[in-house]
Structures are given as C-alpha cells and as structure tokens.
Structure 1
C-alpha cells in the first residue's frame, strides 16, 4: 500500500474516485474543485494505491481557521473527503488514510483532526467512530429564498 500526495499525473484517477464519492457534481464543477485543492496553500490531497499500484482511495485535507465544532485550537486539520472503493473496504485502508491525515495534521502544527458526515450517512458515521473520532455536534441546516 502506498499513500502519496496527488500529482498532476494522478489527477484523472483522483477525479474518477471523487466522482464515486460525490456523483452529483458536474464534470466542470469537480474539475474546478480538485484543481483548487492542488493550487491551495492550505489544502492537500493524497491518493491510496494498493500493492498492485491500483488507485483505490483518497483523502482530501485542509486547514480550517474558522469555527469547527468541538475544536479547541486553530487551525484545525480537516478531512474534507475520504473514500475507499467499495470492493476494498473493511480491509484497513480507510484507517490508513486517517492515520496519514493525523501525520499531516501534526506536520502542519495541528493537535486536532476534524471531519463531518451527513446525518443520513450512517456507514460513514460508523467508520469515523471506528477510527477514533468523537461526535462533536449534529446540525440541521435551513435555507429560505428572500
């Protein structure tokens, strides 16, 4: 298993995995989002390859300076997205991505790693608990046209 920072030559594999995680994104919207991560001084993305060099997962990370539920210090290292292809789950790859995120966080001078999950994504909630996250808050967001 290899986890390495996404390079321009990895972009299409990263893009394809990100589309599996976020299928509602339009192609241009996803391209812009991922390109923005690569160009940002406070974001990083890492690709996970198995022993056969197949890209099977990724983790997108950022430094957040704004309010993060449960955080006690700024900046906070933040998991913006973590994904392992369905046929490779339950084999410890997700845990390895989170361990890598913890190393990245410490390297950035952070003492906390945060993440978020949609209320109906119980599988991701279970994963986060399994890899050591504690739930900090639940939120229901509203919007109204004016």
Structure 2
C-alpha cells in the first residue's frame, strides 16, 4: 500500500471516490472544489492510497483551519473528508491515510488534528475513536422555514 499526495493524473479516481463519499454533490461541483483545493497554496492537501501501484483504495482531504471545536491550538489540521472503498475497509487503509494527514499537518505547525461526522454515522464515529480521536462536542443543527407576515411560506 502506497499513500501519497494526489497528482493531476489521479483526477478521475479522485473524482470517483469523492462522488462515492458525497453523492449529493454534482460532478461539476466536485470538479470545481477539486480545482479550488489545488490552488490553495499549501493550506489544503489530498492524499490517496494505492495498492499495487494502480488500484486506488481511498483518499483523505485535509486543510489548515484557524480553529476547530475542542482544539486549543492554531492552526489546526482538519480532516475534511475520508473515504475507503468497501473492498479495502478494515485493512488499515484509513489509518495510513490519517497518518499521512497527521504528518502533513505537523509539518505545517499543527499540534492537533480535528474532524467531524454526522451524529448518526456510527461507522465514522467508531473509526475516529479507533484512531485516537476524542469526541470534542456533539452538535445538532436546526432549520425552519420562515413564513411571511401572512403566514404563507
């Protein structure tokens, strides 16, 4: 297993993995974000895990944030997203991706690494806990539609 930063030639594989992780996003939005991340001058990185030099197993995106829930240092390395294809799960791929991210964040002056997931994503919570992440805070977001003065929506 080889973990390295994403290359321009990895575009299609990266896009396929992003689409599997975030299926609600359009391909156009993924491409726009990928292009944006590549232009952030070192404040964002993507790592891919590749088996036998050709088979993409997963990816992780990380950024430098000025703060994160539960963190006291600045900047903070922040896992924006991590994905491992089902066939490669529970084989240490995620751990290797997080290790690459941790090393990248440390090389940028970070002493903390943060992440998030939805409160009902038990697999992600278990994954994070197994890698030594502590739950900093649980947060539930609310929304409601605002009606006009007549009560119409």
**TM-score by shorter chain over 0.5:** yes
Q: Which has the larger radius of gyration?
A: 2
Unaligned runs of 5+ in 2: 147-153
Corresponding residue for 1:120? 120
Unaligned runs of 5+ in 1: none
Partner Cα distance (2:54, 2:89) in 1: 16
Partner Cα distance (2:84, 2:93) in 1: 7
Q: Deviations over 1:74-131 (max 9, x none)?
A: 1100000011100100101111111111111110110000000111110000000001
> Deviation at 1:143?
2.7
Partner Cα distance (2:5, 2:23) in 1: 23
> Deviation at 1:53?
2.3
* Helix, strand or coil at the partner of 2:31: helix
* Helix, strand or coil at the partner of 1:104: helix
**Number of residues of Structure 1 aligned to a counterpart in Structure 2:** 145
> Deviation at 1:144?
3.6
Alignment of 1:6-45 (within 5 A): 6-41=6-41, 42-45=43-46
Taking structure 2 as the reference length, the TM-score comes to 0.91
> Deviation at 1:52?
4.7
Partner Cα distance (2:7, 2:53) in 1: 19
Backbone CA RMSD of aligned residues: 1.1
- Structure 1 moving runs of 4+ over 2 Å: 143-146
